[in-house]
Amino acid sequence: MPANRYITKNGQISIVGIADAGMSCNHPADNPADPRWQKWPTQVTVPTSFRGSGRPINVVTCFEEAMALVHRSVGDARNPQCDSYFLELGRGRAQSVRRTLTALLGYKLIFFRNGSANPADDFRVTDGSAGVTMGEVLSSNNVAGNAIISISAYAARSPVSLAATIVHELAHVAGAPGRPADGDWRAMNEAARAPYFGAENALKVCGFTRQHNPEIYGEILDRFQRRMKITGLA
């Protein structure tokens, strides 16, 4: 078993559905009727067509290693702009509720899974037009210092992928605007779109340049090799 140093640190992080992940803080109930509020299984297997390894991954270990990567990156002298970038994301807010990434790592973070009620169905999509949401901030409170975040098992295909997704979602908590609806997005010109890259661009200043996806939508293939779009990237 990993030491779970980051998962259990101050009891701050809950991975909903996994009892041994240091769930010392209260979290809302899961909601099997809503894809955003699903429990995590203890393991996920991300198929190779979804850029996974095809082998089972221990979810607690993956979160633990991902959080360790985020802590390491934000403290890395090679990423001197990371914290100030996060403060800048909150420029429309009162000074007292602007947050660095370092500060956000001290929040009480609750991670739900975004997907099917049965985790085994997460990668059994039969509708080629379906989207895969990488992550979503369900709620956050910058005064109380907490956030509820939903993350796809797809994002947990590796620690570094999960780390990058967590940084992206925490950028939203810091103030990066979420993406508008598809139709609105397509109608926008480049200047109007620019702010919506704020969350994904956090990866470039916080040590996850290789995970940064400059595309508006990425694409992956379902099990029938049909194109699926990835949302929640920008």
For the stretch 91-112, what's the b/e string if a residue is b when 16 or more beta carbons lie within 10 angstroms of its beta carbon? eeeeeeebbbbebbbebbbbbb
- Least separation, in Å, of the C-beta of 92 and Zn ion? 17
For the stretch 19-54, what's the b/e string if a residue is b when 16 or more beta carbons lie within 10 angstroms of its beta carbon? eebbbeeebeebeeeebbbbbbbbbbbbbebbebee
At 216, is the secondary structure helix, strand, or coil? Answer: coil
Show the tokens assigned to 137: 């901030």
Interacting residue with Zn ion among 62, 70, 125, 199 (CB under 5 A):
199
Exposure on the CB side of residue 70, measured as CA atoms within 13 A: 29
# residues contacting Zn ion (CB under 5 A): 1
**Which one of 12-20, 37-45, 194-202, 214-222 is the stretch in contact with Zn ion (CB under 5 A)?**
194-202
- What is the Cα–Cα distance from 49 to 19, expressed in whole angstroms? 30
- Least separation, in Å, of the C-beta of 45 and Zn ion? 25
The nearer residue to Zn ion, 60 or 176, going by C-beta atoms, is 176
Show the tokens assigned to 106: 């001290």
- What is the Cα–Cα distance from 123 to 60, expressed in whole angstroms? 20
**Which one of 103-111, 121-129, 197-205, 208-216 is the stretch in contact with Zn ion (CB under 5 A)?**
197-205
Interacting positions 132-191 with Zn ion (CB under 5 A) = none
The nearer residue to Zn ion, 22 or 172, going by C-beta atoms, is 172
The nearer residue to Zn ion, 4 or 213, going by C-beta atoms, is 213
Q: What mask, x for binding Zn ion by CB under 5 A, covers residues 70 to 109?
A: ----------------------------------------
The nearer residue to Zn ion, 163 or 199, going by C-beta atoms, is 199
Binding site for Zn ion (CB under 5 A): 199
